[in-house]
Chain A
Amino acid sequence: MEYQIQARPAFSYLDVNLNPGEQIVAESGAMAWMEGPIATKTSTRGGVMGGLKRKLLSGESFFQNTYTAEGGAGTVTLAPGAAGDLVATELHGALNMQKGAYLASTTGVKCDSKWSGFKGFFNEGLFILRVEGDGMLFFGSYGAIEEVQVDGTFVVDNGFAVAWDPTLDFRLTKARKIRSFLFSDQILCEYSGTGRLWIQTRTAHQLASAVYPYRPVDSD
Chain B
Amino acid sequence: MNITISADNTFASVHVELQPGETFQSESSAMYFATSNVNIDVSTYSKSGKQGKSGGIMKGVKRLFAGESFFLSKYSILDDQPGMLGIAPEYQGAIEKIELDGQTEWYCTGGSFLAATSDVALDTRFQGIKGFFTGESISFLKLGGHGTVLIEAYGQIERHEVQDEFIVDTGHVVAYSEGLEYSATKVAGGWFKSWLAGEGIVLRFRGTGYVYTQSHNYVGFLRTLGPMLPSR
B18 beta carbon closer than 8 Å to chain A: no
With A and B bound together, what is the CA distance between A190 and B36 in angstroms?
8
| Interface residues on chain B, size class | 35 or more
What 0/1 pattern do residues 215 to 232 of B give for CB contact below 8 A with A?
000000011011101111
Interface residues of B in 1-60 (CB under 8 A from A): 6, 8, 10-13, 28, 31-36, 38-42, 57
Contacts of B101 in A (CB 8 A): none
A32 beta carbon closer than 8 Å to chain B: no
Min CB gap B141→A, angstroms: 20
Stretch at the interface among A48-56, A57-65, A128-136, A209-217: A209-217
Contact, CB under 8 Å: B35 / A210: no
Contacts of B13 in A (CB 8 A): 144, 146, 201
Contact, CB under 8 Å: B227 / A176: no
Contacts of A9 in B (CB 8 A): 8, 10-11
A199 beta carbon closer than 8 Å to chain B: yes
Contact, CB under 8 Å: A175 / B229: no
- Contacts known (A155-B36, A214-B226); A202 close to B90, Cβ less than 8 A: yes
What 0/1 pattern do residues 70 to 83 of B give for CB contact below 8 A with A?
01010000000000
Q: Which of A156, A178, A179 contacts B32 (CB 8 A)?
A: A156
Q: Which of B12, B41, B61 contacts A177 (CB 8 A)?
A: B41
B6, B31, B39, B230 pick with most chain A CB within 10 angstroms: B31
- Contacts known (A153-B36, A155-B34, A183-B42); A207 close to B226, Cβ less than 8 A: no
With A and B bound together, what is the CA distance between A183 and B41 in angstroms?
13
Min CB gap B60→A, angstroms: 11
What 0/1 pattern do residues 1 to 20 of A give for CB contact below 8 A with B?
00000000110000000000
Min CB gap A145→B, angstroms: 9
With A and B bound together, what is the CA distance between A178 and B74 in angstroms?
11
Contact, CB under 8 Å: B34 / A216: no
Contacts of B231 in A (CB 8 A): 215-218
Contacts of B89 in A (CB 8 A): 202
Min CB gap A117→B, angstroms: 21
Residue of A nearest to B93 (CB): A202
With A and B bound together, what is the CA distance between A109 and B104 in angstroms?
58
Q: Which of A10, A176, A210 contacts B41 (CB 8 A)?
A: A176
Contact, CB under 8 Å: B57 / A211: no
Contacts of A124 in B (CB 8 A): none
Interface residues of A in 161-207 (CB under 8 A from B): 175-179, 182-183, 186, 190, 199-202, 206-207
- Contacts known (A10-B8, A144-B13, A199-B86); A178 close to B42, Cβ less than 8 A: yes
Contacts of B38 in A (CB 8 A): 155
B91 beta carbon closer than 8 Å to chain A: yes
Contacts of A127 in B (CB 8 A): none
Residues of B within 8 A of A (CB): 6, 8, 10-13, 28, 31-36, 38-42, 57, 61, 71, 73, 86, 88-92, 222-223, 225-227, 229-232
Residues of A within 8 A of B (CB): 9-10, 84-85, 143-144, 146, 148, 152-157, 160, 175-179, 182-183, 186, 190, 199-202, 206-207, 210-218
Shortest 3 CB-CB distances between A and B: which pairs? A214-B226, A144-B11, A10-B10
Q: List 9 A-B contacts (CB under 8 A).
A: A9-B11, A10-B92, A146-B86, A155-B35, A156-B32, A178-B40, A201-B6, A201-B13, A213-B226
